[in-house]
Structure 1
Amino acid sequence: MTLLVETLKNGQFAASILEFPNFRVESPTREEAIAQIKATVLERLSHIEAISWNVPLSASPPTWIQFAGIFQDDPDFKDIMDKIRAEKTSDDDTEVDSSYYL
């Protein structure tokens, strides 16, 4: 855990836990604030149980194979693929057509 110690405008110190922002104490000295926040965390954690839960999903998440062939009947797909193949096999050293930026 990461302890955060802040000097307040009134000269006191506030201590909190980065991972648990609702854990916060104020004290007249830095040392007391640190001791109080540690005690507060230990007290609170003694009453807390951490339980791991795997959420059951009703359906499997989509996989790439579910999308294979979705463009097979798209009349523009062949033209798009031809352009991509032409760009991949060209001897042009530039990565992007500079006319896109004009």
Structure 2
Amino acid sequence: MNLVVKTSPSNTAPKLTYDVLIENQQDGTFKATLLGLPDCQALGNTETAAIETLIQSLQSRLETAKIITVEIPATEVVKNPWLKFAGMFKDDPQFDEVLAYIEAERSELDAQMEEYYRQIDAETKTK
């Protein structure tokens, strides 16, 4: 498996955006949770205080860590096993004869099914 890690130059600080869940607690405080990192939470007496504490906590955490983007290539596409048989009889002199036979059989079966359904329909109408 080949992994490609994309990093940006260390002298640039990209602006990161995060979704934050704000919850009212029973004691009247607010809990801010960083979605995607449920262990990154903060409490505050107001929503703003909880968010500010969360931001400070995340910044402290990122001082000793980094965020990278990892590209994982798709696995090899599985080929249809029947493709190796496609067209194998195209030059067979009996191929057209076989197709005609299959078509005749299919027509006969279709006619039998039509008759069967007509009988069923007639029986239901007489009841």
TM-score bracket, normalised by the shorter chain, equals: 0.5 to 0.7
Instruction: For 2:72 and 2:64, locate their aligned partners in 1 and report how far apart those are by CA, in whole Å.
Output: 23
Q: Does 2:84 match 1:62?
A: no
- CA gap of 1:51–1:31, structure 2 versus 1, over 3 A, is closer
Give the root-mean-square deviation of aligned CA atoms: 3.2
Count of residues in Structure 1 that have an aligned counterpart in Structure 2: 72
2:22 is matched with 5
For 1:22, what is the secondary structure of its paired residue?
A: coil
Stretches of structure 2 that go unaligned for 5 or more consecutive residues are: 1-17, 87-101, 111-127
User: Match for residue 42 of structure 1?
Assistant: 59
Distance (whole Å) between structure 2 residues aligned to residue 33 and residue 46 of structure 1:
20
The structure whose Rg is larger is 2
How far off is 1:22 after superposition?
1.4
One-letter identity of the residue aligned with 1:35? E
The alignment's TM-score, normalised by the length of structure 2, stands at: 0.44
**2:70 equivalent in structure 1:** 52
The answer to which structure, 1 or 2, has the higher relative contact order (CA under 8 A, 6+ apart) is: 2
Give, in angstroms, the shift of residue 34 of structure 1. 0.7
What SS does structure 1 have at the residue aligned with 2:53? Answer: helix
Distance in 1 separating the partners of 2:24 and 2:31: 6
| Equivalent residue in structure 2 for 1:31, among 48, 56, 68 | 48
- 1:53: how far off? 5.9
Q: Provide structure 1 residue ranges, at least 5 long, that are not aligned to the other structure.
A: 71-77, 87-102
> Comparing both structures, which one devotes a greater share of its residues to helix?
2
Matched, 1:19 2:36: yes
The alignment-based identity, stated in percent, is: 17
Alignment match, 2:3: none
Q: Deviations over 1:70-98 (max 9, x none)?
A: 9xxxxxxx7xxx59xx8xxxxxxxxxxxx
